[in-house]
Amino acid sequence: MTGFARESGSLGDGTAFVWELRSVNGRGLDLRLRLPNGQDALEPLLREATAKRLKRGNVSATLSLKREERPKLAVDPAALEQVLKLALDLAGRIRGSVAPRAEALLALPGVMRAEVPEVDEAQQDAARATLAEAYGRALSGLVAARQGEGARLHSILAGLLDEIATLRDAAAEAAAGQPEAQRARLLEQLAALLGEAGRARVPEERLAQEVALLAQKSDVREELDRLTAHIEAARALLAAGDGAGRKLDFLTQEFQREANTLCSKSASVPLTRIGLELKAAIERLREQAANIE
């Protein structure tokens, strides 16, 4: 399921941080972390926390760090001395050369450096704990966002199951009229081949046998019964709510199998039309089922 969450705060050394979590649909759980340099120790903690709360989805988690105070700048004496030596050496070789300006020297890479305060191990542990706690809050926000979408998807899935149940009932009604339609079609074919007089000479017993054989081949009662069972199972999964996604995905495959068989056995245009509508509704159900855990 899709979702977004954001959590911000600051560390003890004046560093501001922002967690941003995004989730999109996925069959399994795939967590992609984007952490600043020096924060790799957080990764196992974050993966463990995520696996406890989420089962499916492609999740991206990004941590941004920014110092609220500008770092103090200092001159690197060794680098400056080396640059001055090179400048004096060039001045002695080139006539009319001008002494380098201070701002030009300071702009050279390596001459100026930012003073980074030393952080002891206890401070690092405290910072990691703060970041991990904030990640947990962001994760809770993401779960809440996904649950909100889950409620909406629940309504959509329930509606699709109602549509499938209605089509199943329509298929049963259409299938009930197939034997009589097959008998009428068989009589028409015999009349076309043998003429009315020839058709009249066909024994009724033989005609009844042929109609019974055709009816047996086109009998879809088992498929309709299994569709009913699948609908009930899917509704029970929605009511339970826990981990319904994978099970619904499997059930949609069973739905499609019955719908395909129903279409192949159909001996009437109305039943075939209903079967095609049924397959389309099942496909929509499958697409939506892929969005939930």
Number of domains in the chain: 3
Mean pLDDT check: name the lowest of 60-69, 86-95, 216-225.
Answer: 86-95
Residue 129: inside a domain, yes or no?
Answer: no
Task: Judge whether 44 lies within some domain.
Answer: yes
Give tens-digit pLDDT for 111-136: 777 666 566 678 788 889 999 999 99
Supply the mean pLDDT for the chain: 82
pLDDT at 207 over 70: no
Same domain, 173 and 243: yes
Predicted local confidence at residue 111, as pLDDT: 74
Instruction: Specify the pLDDT at position 83.
Output: 78
- Which residue matches tokens 């922002």? 18
Most confident of 210-219, 253-262, 282-291: 253-262
Check whether 199 has a pLDDT greater than 80.
Answer: no
CA 125 distance to own-chain centroid: 34
pLDDT band at 68 (very low <50, low <70, confident <90, very high): low
Length of the chain: 293
Of 209 and 126, the structure prediction assigns the larger pLDDT to: 126
Asked if residue 241 is part of any domain, the answer here is: yes
What is the extent of the structural domain holding 6?
1-72
Is 40 in the same domain as 100?
Answer: no
pLDDT of residue 164: 96
Distance, CA of 87 to CA of 89 (rounded, Å): 5
Q: Let me know whether 104 and 211 are in one domain.
A: no
pLDDT at 201: 59
Decide if 138 is inside a domain: no
Q: Does residue 73 or residue 156 have the better pLDDT?
A: 156
The pair of structure tokens assigned to 67 is 């110092």
pLDDT value of residue 213: 59
Name the nearest CA neighbour of 64 among 125, 137, 7, 2. 7
Residue-wise pLDDT for 14-54, tens only, equals 789 999 999 988 778 899 999 998 899 999 999 999 999 99
State the DSSP code for 120: -
User: What does DSSP say about strands 112-115 and 72-75: parallel, antiparallel, or unpaired?
Assistant: antiparallel
Note the pLDDT tens digit of each residue in 227-251.
Answer: 999 999 999 988 886 667 778 888 9
Tally the C-alpha atoms within 13 A of residue 224's C-alpha that lie toward its C-beta: 20
Q: What element of type H or E holds 60?
A: strand 57-67
Who wins on pLDDT, 176 or 119?
Answer: 176
226 and 273, same domain (yes or no):
yes
- Classify residue 135: in a domain, yes or no: no
97 and 200, same domain (yes or no): no
My answer on whether 58 and 80 are in the same domain is no
Q: What is the pLDDT of residue 167?
A: 96
CB-based contact 69:28 (threshold 8 Å)? no
How would you classify residue 2: left for phi > 0, otherwise alpha for psi between -120 and 50, otherwise beta? beta
